[in-house]
Chain A
């Protein structure tokens, strides 16, 4: 799309890349639709797609089908929508986090955002006796935002934000907060019981009402992320070159950081801390679409939900009739996947 204006004499390798780039959004969307279908159909009670469609269209008739329809519309539809939103937020947050820090290993986790949200939620469970994910939302948002602000404050030097210090500050804060979270849970059995499922990261057991407070944050975060995308391309050339190209480097870093906080806080508030999606989605997209953030961010909007829904579906079928929390699956699958990516990149 960006290359229409070029003469047709480009090299074969480049042409195949261009073909790949024009086909990939379609392929990506198809995979995403497949993941959505699987997410609606599979679970402890597998349903044929026709039943799923009937339930969605409200045309299910006859006895025994109502229970199936309830499973689809009452449980699996909200779960799938939450997966789409959280996956998109995590994928884009990861891409922007890597862009503003110029660090391919950056993610909401390394910026301390997940640890901050976890600490706030566990503290709230401990002190206020909360029990439902919808009650955790505001605490998660506040904890995530406070940690991100603290990391930014630690990274500030003479008015500039140092990207290495940003990642380092986030990692240090994450370590400290995680130890406090563990301490709280070890001293209170009730807190441990309430928090452990949320802390694993899960899309289950939530209604669409958990999305209400976070949707504005995620929409704003996405808008900010897409607004800074062209500047992130220039920022990739180093601070000096970016500045010489007229990029207000510190302002972009602050706005990009804000986008990461809004997106990651929104995601963690809904699903708990889910690792690796924010890290892996940008890497996967970069492998096929290249480093341009104007393509990378839309790509992550598709790749994030694919990864998250696929992991969630897998978690439902591997230990049937029980299930694994999605955060456990992403961590389990994400680590080796990333090792493979790192080896490929090094070659």
Chain B
């Protein structure tokens, strides 16, 4: 790594960032700092720009205005491979190649570390083994990915991003399509990656309670703009949820963790709109 140790805080930031699809502005004038070393959850109602923001952060989408920086340098001007060694991404709906085995899939995570004609190195294999072990997919290594259960498949995909060996990990709704047990399994794994391996995690989540439990830093988006940002306990209150999600609710301490838990008001007392 060429950057000085003091400069690699793995801090992503946006500066007056605007993201557009064609003429439709999805994110507008966003100033954000995502703290390095922490778990950040991006939440907000459907179509608020969460996934689009993640696409902008990983430069799947070029900004219409403003910049995205990683420790001060412009992400959209970095060589693709350099960025791929620092930042991994699990998209919401990745494509699983037909008949590929778990290990072959995870091996693809080493792509940015390999050079043309360079052989598969011991470091490559070690990274793959660690990714398989950490995600509990080592015993599935020879199974075709398309025959795994949803939870196993998601772990295999996380293993791929781990094998990429980046200090920064971005996950787009990693718990969607999973049942509760597998959701918690994935989130526990993410928490572990942060605490044990010191990885910075940024993930888009739908469940506010899970976001409050697992994130150190919460980013709430509303119609492409920042509604609130900060530690969940400071940010998440009834007024915010009502304003952003249009759901009357009360926010109580989670009986397990003490983190804020959103409890929507019962239907009978909700003002009907139709």
Interface of A with B (CB < 8 Å)?
A: 2, 5-6, 10-11, 13-14, 102, 104, 227, 230-231, 233-234, 236-241, 243-248, 286, 290-292, 345
B87-133 with Cβ < 8 A to chain A: 87-89, 91, 93-101, 104-105, 108-109, 111-112, 114, 116, 120, 122, 125
Q: Are A246 and B89 in contact (CB under 8 A)?
A: no
Residues of A within 8 A of B104 (CB): 290-292
Q: Are B60 and A243 in contact (CB under 8 A)?
A: yes
Q: Which 10 A-B residue pairings sit nearest by Cβ, starting from the closest?
A: A246-B84, A238-B95, A244-B89, A246-B112, A246-B81, A236-B97, A240-B91, A14-B142, A245-B111, A246-B80
Interface residue? B233 (CB, 8 A): no
- Beyond the given A237-B95, A246-B82, please list 19 additional residue pairs across the A-B interface where CB-CB is below 8 A: A14-B142, A230-B114, A230-B116, A233-B108, A234-B111, A236-B97, A236-B100, A240-B55, A240-B60, A244-B87, A244-B88, A244-B161, A246-B81, A246-B111, A286-B99, A290-B99, A291-B97, A291-B98, A291-B100
Residues of A within 8 A of B81 (CB): 246
Q: Are A248 and B80 in contact (CB under 8 A)?
A: yes
CB-CB nearest in chain A for B164: A245
Sampled A-B contacts (25; CB under 8 Å): A2-B120, A6-B125, A102-B95, A230-B114, A237-B94, A237-B105, A237-B108, A238-B93, A238-B94, A240-B55, A240-B89, A240-B91, A241-B94, A243-B58, A244-B60, A244-B87, A244-B89, A245-B84, A245-B108, A245-B112, A246-B82, A286-B98, A290-B99, A291-B99, A291-B104
Q: Are A241 and B95 in contact (CB under 8 A)?
A: yes
B172-201 with Cβ < 8 A to chain A: none
Q: Are A5 and B122 in contact (CB under 8 A)?
A: yes
Residues of B within 8 A of A11 (CB): 142
Interface residue? B83 (CB, 8 A): yes
Residues of B within 8 A of A286 (CB): 98-99
- Assembled-state Cα–Cα distance A231/B111 (Å): 8
Q: How far is the CB of A162 from chain B (nearest CB, A)?
A: 14
CB-CB nearest in chain B for A251: B80
B130-154 with Cβ < 8 A to chain A: 142
Residues of B within 8 A of A234 (CB): 108, 111
Interface residue? B85 (CB, 8 A): yes
Q: How far is the CB of A234 from chain B (nearest CB, A)?
A: 5
Q: A230-B114, A238-B95, A345-B98 are in contact. Are A244 and B108 (CB under 8 A)?
A: no
CB-CB nearest in chain B for A248: B80
Q: How far is the CB of A283 from chain B (nearest CB, A)?
A: 11
Q: A14-B142, A240-B89 are in contact. Are A245 and B109 (CB under 8 A)?
A: yes
- Assembled-state Cα–Cα distance A345/B111 (Å): 28
Residue with the highest number of chain A CB atoms closer than 10 Å, among B94, B95, B116? B95
Contact of A227 among B100, B116, B142, B164 (CB under 8 A): B116
- Assembled-state Cα–Cα distance A10/B132 (Å): 14
CB-CB nearest in chain A for B115: A230
- Assembled-state Cα–Cα distance A291/B95 (Å): 13
Q: How far is the CB of A241 from chain B (nearest CB, A)?
A: 5
- Assembled-state Cα–Cα distance A6/B116 (Å): 22
Residues of A within 8 A of B120 (CB): 2, 5
CB-CB nearest in chain A for B125: A5
Residues of A within 8 A of B91 (CB): 238, 240-241, 244
Q: How far is the CB of B38 from chain A (nearest CB, A)?
A: 21
Q: How far is the CB of B47 from chain A (nearest CB, A)?
A: 19
